[in-house]
Structure 1
Amino acid sequence: MPGRFDGKVVIVTGSSSGIGKETALHFAREGAKVTVTGRSLERLQAVKKELLESGISETDFLIVPADVTSSTGQDELISQTLSKFGKIDILVNNAGASITDAEGKTGVSQGIDSYEKTMKLNVQSLIEMTQKARPHLAKTRGEIVNVSSIVALGHGWQSRPYYSLAKAAVDQYTRAAAIDLIEEGIRVNTVNPGFVKTLFHEAELGWTADQAQEFYDDIGSNKYAIPAGFIGRPEHIAKAIAFLADRNSSEFIVGQNLVVDGGTTLVLGIHAAK
């Protein structure tokens, strides 16, 4: 049975773990040829193993170790994808993270170095990848899906304001790019995930696996945090990304934010006082 993305070539940045990894696997399982990338060779090898165990041939995926914040890394992603697959149909700008302040500061006390690193990873690399992929996506009338966050939306996030600022910039860039690029047949949209169980807390905050699981259990069962009653999983976001990348399903959606958060942004702190 043919897959939904048969014949499509997809680049997923930041796809060595978490949402990016699940997105790459999801596209591959639905017939796409996928470029998987990240900085960790160990994690990339783990993704390769999962792809092979899913029955995906090595002819249908490409593993590119690269730093997406560097011009060299970006160029390698584009050139190697074109060399192996001949075209680009879909770009998923997923790479991103909340950069921990070098001195452990939070809130508006965070240093400018933390701000600069956060913006370079979450915003600048996305802009550069979009610019470099643009001529190739114009040839295929392709799709761009940017991965943002609910922290970009209309609430204050005290502890890590630079991350919120960066993701808000991603949302606004999506709107501008969508208007500009639709004239070339390229659709641009954004997915805004809520709380999702990934390696974020262990990798970025230094938590143990038990501490992270306790957090996920607590917040998932708190109806004032996630009305759906459970923590999000990477596959929830991967399926939303695939929906926006599938022109048959979402052709008339241009420059929009698809919020995938189990209802988190529908509730306010005041609700907990009831």
Structure 2
Amino acid sequence: MTNRFSGKVAIVTGSSNGIGRATAILFAQEGAKVTITGRNAQRLEETKQEILKSGIPEDHVLAITTDITQEEGQDEIINETIEKFGRLDILVNNAGAAFMDDKRTSGVDQDISVFDKIMQINLRSVVTLTQKAKKYLVEAKGEIVNVSSIGAGPQAQPKFIHYALSKAALDQYTRSAAIDLIQHGVRVNSVSPGVVATGFGEAMGMTAEMDRKYFNFLESHKDCIPCGSIGKPIDIAHIIAFLADRKLSSYIIGQSIVADGGSTLVMGMQAHNMMDILKS
């Protein structure tokens, strides 16, 4: 590991699991002081212990168990970070979720309360936390990396309409905020993962067996994932670190890097070998 983030302070939201956990660990290993945050205290402690196992000093890690969708929780994250570390250089807006309603309805009939809940965490919390962090990021000439999704489009997402809406809106926010903040020296970019093995399915009520079955199907169908394998959280963490590293990505402003194993590059007709069809 390098020390490319030595002297930097990063906040990684949703770091009790998955992409957020991998990102927080990677940043700490590469020299950053890191604020980790999430709603599950036990899982957040697991993230902290993983960081400490890397030989990172305990005073380089701040763990805050709170609800990112609440203004008080966001104030706690920002204020305690500044109080402990004295600055903020990198904000990773990773926290996000998809939900089902009580009847497990999907599509246009899904209860509007699900829309409100998803927009609250996937979009509104990003907007308000960014506002609260702006002062300190401007002082540091810092970086913001948002975690979006290939669900933002342009392909339709009929089963997860509200989730897709929130991520499409987040992409526009990334572009617009990037132009607004670059005049102050702050860069804003995002990453759009495809299917990644995280705790996302569990949060939607899927069992480990259901996750396994779903992932096996996707990996065995090149019309779903051409590279033939599910992404790992560390795959996305490395992209986030790249976007947060001004030496490597200084000329990238308001863009989203797609990391999906090729999923968005194929259509059904392209996923099958034409010569095999002709030979049959």
TM over 0.5: yes
Deviation by residue 1:206-236 (Cα, 9 ceiling, x = unmatched):
2221221222122123211111111100000
Aligned to 1:23: 23
Q: How does 1:55-134 map to 2 (within 5 A)?
A: 55-134=55-134
Match of 2:154, SS state, is: coil
Kindly state the Cα deviation for residue 199 of structure 1 after the two structures are TM-superposed.
1.2
Kindly state the Cα deviation for residue 160 of structure 1 after the two structures are TM-superposed.
1.0
Aligned to 1:157: 157
Contact 2:193 2:258 in 1 (8 A): yes
Deviation by residue 1:176-226 (Cα, 9 ceiling, x = unmatched):
10000000000000100000001111221x222122122212212321111
Q: What is the rounded CA distance, in whole Å, between the counterparts of 1:226 and 1:170 in structure 2?
A: 24
1:261 and 2:238 are equivalent in the alignment: no
Letter in 2 for 1:53: K
Match of 1:155, SS state, is: coil
Give % identity: 52
Q: Which has the larger radius of gyration?
A: 2
Aligned to 1:241: 240
Aligned to 1:230: 229
Match of 1:207, SS state, is: coil
Kindly state the Cα deviation for residue 51 of structure 1 after the two structures are TM-superposed.
1.2
Aligned to 2:217: 218
Letter in 1 for 2:137: L
Contact 2:97 2:203 in 1 (8 A): no
Letter in 1 for 2:73: G
Contact 2:178 2:253 in 1 (8 A): yes
Kindly state the Cα deviation for residue 54 of structure 1 after the two structures are TM-superposed.
1.5
Aligned to 1:209: 208
Letter in 1 for 2:46: A
Q: What is the rounded CA distance, in whole Å, between the counterparts of 1:12 and 1:253 in structure 2?
A: 20
Letter in 1 for 2:57: S
Match of 1:184, SS state, is: coil
Q: What is the rounded CA distance, in whole Å, between the counterparts of 1:102 and 1:124 in structure 2?
A: 23
Q: What is the rounded CA distance, in whole Å, between the counterparts of 2:122 and 2:2 in structure 1?
A: 35
Contact 1:35 1:64 in 2 (8 A): yes
Contact 2:194 2:263 in 1 (8 A): yes
Q: Which moved more, 1:109-118 or 1:44-53?
A: 44-53
Q: What is the rounded CA distance, in whole Å, between the counterparts of 1:35 and 1:221 in structure 2?
A: 38
Kindly state the Cα deviation for residue 2 of structure 1 after the two structures are TM-superposed.
5.2
Letter in 1 for 2:181: L
Aligned to 2:37: 37
**Runs of at least 4 residues off by over 3 Å:** none
Aligned to 1:147: 147
Aligned to 1:14: 14
Kindly state the Cα deviation for residue 103 of structure 1 after the two structures are TM-superposed.
2.4
Kindly state the Cα deviation for residue 53 of structure 1 after the two structures are TM-superposed.
1.2
Q: What is the rounded CA distance, in whole Å, between the counterparts of 1:33 and 1:79 in structure 2?
A: 15
Contact 1:141 1:186 in 2 (8 A): yes
- TM-score where L is the length of structure 2: 0.95
Contact 2:12 2:94 in 1 (8 A): yes
Q: What is the rounded CA distance, in whole Å, between the counterparts of 1:113 and 1:33 in structure 2?
A: 37
Kindly state the Cα deviation for residue 272 of structure 1 after the two structures are TM-superposed.
4.3
Contact 1:102 1:114 in 2 (8 A): no
Aligned to 1:250: 249
Match of 1:262, SS state, is: coil
Q: CA RMSD, aligned part only?
A: 1.2
Letter in 2 for 1:46: E
Match of 1:35, SS state, is: strand
Letter in 2 for 1:14: G
Unaligned runs of 5+ in 2: 275-280
Match of 1:72, SS state, is: helix
Letter in 1 for 2:222: K
Q: What is the rounded CA distance, in whole Å, between the counterparts of 2:203 and 2:24 in structure 1?
A: 20
Kindly state the Cα deviation for residue 149 of structure 1 after the two structures are TM-superposed.
0.0
